[in-house]
Structure 1
């Protein structure tokens, strides 16, 4: 794919201290550290993503201006699957951001896995950007990672490990 279609997952770089902390976390998580933000290309040149104020839409131009270089994840999906992903986005709007998820990712990286914590994160309704994208795809019936990982286990670096195009 060379031209991204709505429903495509995009990656960008968060700048500043927050971005640096996420990049370090990505590096420690074994995922490299190029991309630190995940979003879904919506219709009408909008993107949909998790933000500290809650999941919402913003313009693609704003995303590029705020975060710089972008790449798209080349996930082979049908037009019907793409439409199903887009149909899930309004129901995820307003989803609160999850800072706890970063601690859970760090714990899992250190080999600490808690079914109670996993269940809490899955049920709390709070998400980070990569989790939100993976969850939208999961709800649409598209499983991106075939290794059984939960959407809450997905980082921007995981998406960056898949085929990309710019």
Structure 2
């Protein structure tokens, strides 16, 4: 494994019923993957992640063991890394939203009433993968170019971004990020 740098994100597994529910939801919307959680490394052995009690910064030693890091897979400038780190710090305390899971599920089935779109676009609440997507977006990095709204992302989407199965929009997204 490459040593993570501030601004890199990791994907992890969640045990218990919560992990099973997230995995089932991801499978239902076509994002099946071996991961159910995401966090951003901010340096000095600390991460920021979204949890049911709100986004928090904790020691990486207290986090779930990473399955994969974005290190070396998504090119980041020093300035982008500083911005991601700063924005992750700024999101600490942001409330969690279980309703965002339902919204993301509806998006995968192309059911998007305006109030649902507006709710997801409101960054006053985040799930773990939305936190990753949001800090990258604030650093000027659009991880996905498939027309999705910012925040319409699951841990499975991030997994598929880092592990494309075949030439897909995900492959194009990684090539686009590498060329920027």
TM-score by length of 1: 0.90
Task: Give the Cα–Cα distance (whole angstroms) in 1 for the partners of residues 114 and 62 of structure 2.
Answer: 38
- Using the TM superposition, give the Cα deviation of residue 111 of structure 1 relative to its aligned residue in structure 2, in angstroms: 2.4
* 2:2 match: secondary structure: coil
Task: Give the Cα–Cα distance (whole angstroms) in 1 for the partners of residues 66 and 76 of structure 2.
Answer: 24
TM-score by length of 2: 0.83
Unpaired stretches in structure 2, ≥5 consecutive residues: 164-180
- Using the TM superposition, give the Cα deviation of residue 120 of structure 1 relative to its aligned residue in structure 2, in angstroms: 2.1
Unpaired stretches in structure 1, ≥5 consecutive residues: none
Return 30-39 or 108-117, whichever deviates more: 108-117
Q: Which runs of 4+ in 1 moved over 6 A?
A: none
Return 109-118 or 51-60, whichever deviates more: 109-118
Give the length in aligned residue pairs: 161
1:8-157 residue pairs with structure 2 within 5 A?
8-63=8-63, 67-73=64-70, 74-123=73-122, 125-157=124-156
Q: For residues 29-55 of structure 1, give each alpha carbon's deviation from its aligned partner in whole angstroms, at most 9, with x where no partner exists.
A: 111231000100111111101011110
Residue 166 of structure 2 corresponds to none
Task: Give the Cα–Cα distance (whole angstroms) in 2 for the partners of residues 3 and 122 of structure 1.
Answer: 33
Task: Give the Cα–Cα distance (whole angstroms) in 1 for the partners of residues 3 and 66 of structure 2.
Answer: 16
Task: Give the Cα–Cα distance (whole angstroms) in 2 for the partners of residues 140 and 89 of structure 1.
Answer: 11
Task: Give the Cα–Cα distance (whole angstroms) in 2 for the partners of residues 124 and 71 of structure 1.
Answer: 26
Task: Give the Cα–Cα distance (whole angstroms) in 1 for the partners of residues 126 and 18 of structure 2.
Answer: 16
RCO greater where, 1 or 2, for CA within 8 Å and sep 6 or more?
1
Q: For residues 118-152 of structure 1, give each alpha carbon's deviation from its aligned partner in whole angstroms, at most 9, with x where no partner exists.
A: 11222261110000110011112111112232232
Indicate conservation of the 8 Å contact 2:10/2:41, yes or no: yes
